[in-house]
Amino acid sequence: MKSHLSLLSIVCLFLSACAIAAQATPTPTPAPSTATATATRVPPTATTAPTATKAPTATPRPPTATPTLAPTLVPTKPPAAAKPPVAVGGAAIAEIARGNTARPQVALTFDAGASSRPTPKILDTLRAHKLRVTLFITGDYAQKNPELLRQMAADGHELANHSYSHPDFVNLSDQQIQEELRRTEDTVQKITGSTTKPFFRAPFGSRNARTNRVIAEAGYRSIYWTLDSGDWVEGAIPSNVRQKVVAGVSNGSIVVNHLGSEATAEILDEIINGIQNKGFSIVPVSQLIAP
C-alpha cells in the first residue's frame, strides 16, 4: 500500500514538472504553408517611373515682339515714296526759296491781296529807282484795281499768281486749287494782256507736296521766300521793317513785302538804298534764279 502511494506521488510530481515546463516555453507559431503564403501575401507594388506624356506638337509661330510705342512725331505708317519733280515745258519744277547765291542779287517781291491804298506810293518809289520787281497778285485784287494792274504792267514789273481769293491751299481740293489759279490768270490777262505764269506764291505761305504738285501741273513754280520783312504785322514800325530787310539780305535772298503795307510804302526808299549800299542789285525773281 505504501509502495503504491509513493509511486503515485512520483507520477504527480512528474506531471506537475511537465506542466510548469510547458508554460515556460512558448508554443511556436507554425509557418504557413507555401500555398497559403502565395495566396495571402501581397507583393510589394513596384514603383515605376511614370511614362512621359509627349507634349502636343505646336504649330511654330514667330516670336511675338513686345510692341514699342512710336513717338508722337513719328508716323504710324511709312511715308509714301517721294515723286520726282513734275516736268512742265521740259523744265523740272521745284519750289524756290532762294535764288542764285553766286551773285550779289536780291529779289524784293510784293504780295497783293489786301488794301490797295499804299500801292501807288510803292509803285512810285520803284519807278523812281528804275526797278523791276515781281508782284504776286490775287485775282480779286486785280478785279478791284484794274488801273493799278495796268500801271504795274506798263512799268515792266513781273506779274505772278497769288490765287484768286487768298484761301489756304492746303485745305482745298486739287480741282479748287486749279480753279483759283485759272481765275486769276484769266483776270490778269484780260486787264493787262500779260500772263501770271510761271510763278506762284501760296497764300499765307501754306503749301505742301500735294499743292506744289497741283500748281506745277498747272504750269507754275512755287516761290517761297528767304526773308519775311514782317511788314504785314498789325502796327508794323517802318524803321523795324527796314532794319530787318537791310540787315538780313544776302546773295540770292527773296524778300517778301506787301503792296497793302503802310510801313513798306513809308520806308521803301530807305530799304532800297540800304540794300544797294551793301553792294546788292535788286532784280525780279526770273533774273535772280537764272543760271
Where are the domains positioned within the chain?
A: 95-288
Strand partners, 256: 109, 228
Write out pLDDT tens, residues 228-273.
Answer: 999 999 999 999 999 999 999 999 999 999 999 999 999 999 999 9
Number of C-beta neighbours around residue 101 at 10 A: 11
Region 21-27 average pLDDT = 45
pLDDT at 16: 53
**Contact yes or no for 265/122 (Cβ under 8 A):** yes
Write out pLDDT tens, residues 71-106.
Answer: 222 222 332 333 333 333 334 457 999 999 999 999
pLDDT over 70 for what percent of the chain?
A: 68
pLDDT at 156: 97
Can the peptide bond before residue 238 be classed as cis, meaning omega within 30 degrees of 0?
no
Domain 95-288 carries which CATH code? 3.20.20.370
**Contact yes or no for 183/139 (Cβ under 8 A):** yes
pLDDT at 177: 98
Strand partners, 179: none
Question: Confidence class of residue 191 from pLDDT cuts 50, 70 and 90?
Answer: very high
Region 143-150 average pLDDT = 98
d(CA 284, CA 211): 24
- For residue 274, give the nearest of 227, 234, 232, 239 by alpha carbon: 239
Write out pLDDT tens, residues 26-57.
Answer: 444 444 443 333 333 333 433 444 444 444 44
Mapped onto helix, strand or coil, the DSSP state of residue 237 is coil
**Contact yes or no for 222/202 (Cβ under 8 A):** yes
The pairing of beta strand 87-88 with beta strand 91-92: antiparallel
d(CA 203, CA 174): 15
pLDDT at 275: 98
pTM score over 0.85: no
pLDDT at 94: 79
